[in-house]
Every structure is written in C-alpha cells, then in structure tokens.
Amino acid sequence: MKKIIIDEEIFEKYPGFNRGIVFVDDIENRSEDEKIRELLNQAIKSKTGQNLIENDFVKAWDKAHEQFGSNPNKFPPSIKSLLKRIGKGGEIPFINSVVALFNYISVKYLIPCGGDDVDKIEGNLRLGLAKGNEIFIPLGGENKETPEVGEVIYFDDKTLNVMCRKWNWRNGDFTKITQDSKKIVINIDGIDPVSQSLIEEARDELAKLLTEHCRAKIKTALLNRNTKEIEFK
C-alpha cells in the first residue's frame, strides 16, 4: 500500500488548502480524441479575451509561491502558465486524453491540476518542504536539479525523486503520463479563496469525464488539514 501525504508544515503556511484526488486504476489513454479536444478548445474559447491573470484564484497562487520564496513571474504556477498561453492566442497541446482532460478542468475552474504514473513511484507521494537533497529531472529533460531548501515539492519519499517543483511550476519526467500508463493519481488543488466545494465539484467532473471518455476505473478522495493522508493500492 502506498500513501498520499501532505505534511503538517504545508497546512501551517496554507491552512485553507484542499487537494481533490482522482485515483485511476485502469484506463484507455489515447494520443488523440476529437471529443476531448473539442471540450478543451471550448474551455479555452470561453476564457479568451479575459484578463484572468488578475483573477483572485490565480493571484492566490502567486501569493502562495511568494510565501515559500519563489518568484511566480519567473516560475509561474501551472494555471498561470496555461492562461498566459491562452492570452497569447496559443493552443494547449494535446498530449493524451488524461492530460487534456485535467487541462480542461484547470482552465474551466482556474485551478492547478496535475497527474502522475503511480507505477513509477516506489514510496509514498508526499507534498512537503524540500530539504535540498532531493532529485529533480524536468519533463523532457535529462539534467538533474536540486530543489531549494524550503521549496514546496511533491516527491517520492523513498527515492527522493521529485514529481513537481515549486508546488505546481514544473513536472518531473519520471512519472509523466503516457498512453501506457494505467495507474494514475491526479491532483486538483485549491487555496483560499477557492472553496472545498468547488474543488470537489471539479474533482467529480474530472472523474466523470475520465469514466465516460477513457473507460477509467475511478475512486476519489479529498485531503485537507482534517485529513492529511490516505492509503491506496
């Protein structure tokens, strides 16, 4: 059994943090799907022309990054990166069905979403503050990096390999979701002023879409200051 764990030190800094979780046990993950692509394009179209970088949901992540010493303009939170791409008239690349669907949820609700191939992880999936001895290889890269001490990271607590740096800035390569991925954990994150109920709504919509479009076997959960960890197979 593995666990997803959010360290207490995260809630000391961000007491209103909620993480919706979608567990995927099996799935059909395709490199192209017209229906999912259309869904994502509709979400993008609905946000085009709006100055959403100044939305309270997005600015909250800027503030969160600043609290652990990161510059959100130099190292933008994932939702900010997506909105900047949309604002410049760019498309969001269709990597595969799963990534496209959680990008859709991210754009629709203005919240960060991300996922990992659990079969590549040896220990527990932990969100905490970096000690500076962890290992990070960015998505698509080869060179090893070391997170800064005190940086919020999501990591394998056995191997110390990092799945995501600066909370939701850049994904690691080793747990990237591919067409061969079968066991996946997807995170849907919210901090004040994003409510728990909105995170649950976004999580449940994503679970429904994964079931409908990808024949996924799904379970869901919620972590916050009242429930900081959960076991899963």
pLDDT (tens digit per residue) in 122-140 = 999 999 999 999 999 999 9
C-alpha 20/C-alpha 191 separation (Å) is 11
pLDDT at 233: 84
pLDDT at 137: 98
Dump the DSSP string for 210-224.
HHHHH--EEEEEEEB
pLDDT at 186: 98
Region 19-48: what's the mean pLDDT?
Answer: 96
C-alpha 166/C-alpha 71 separation (Å) is 10
Q: Maximum CA pair distance of the chain?
A: 46
pLDDT at 157: 98
What does the pLDDT look like over 46-96, one tens digit per residue?
Answer: 998 889 999 999 999 999 999 999 999 999 999 999 999 999 887 899 999
Asked if the model's pLDDT at residue 11 lies above 80, the reply is yes
pLDDT band at 13 (very low <50, low <70, confident <90, very high): very high
C-alpha 175/C-alpha 182 separation (Å) is 12
pLDDT at 89: 82
Asked if the model's pLDDT at residue 153 lies above 80, the reply is yes
What does the pLDDT look like over 203-212, one tens digit per residue?
Answer: 999 999 999 9
Domain around 126: 2-232
The number of folded domains in the chain is 1
Check which CATH number belongs to the domain holding 78 and give it. 3.50.40.10
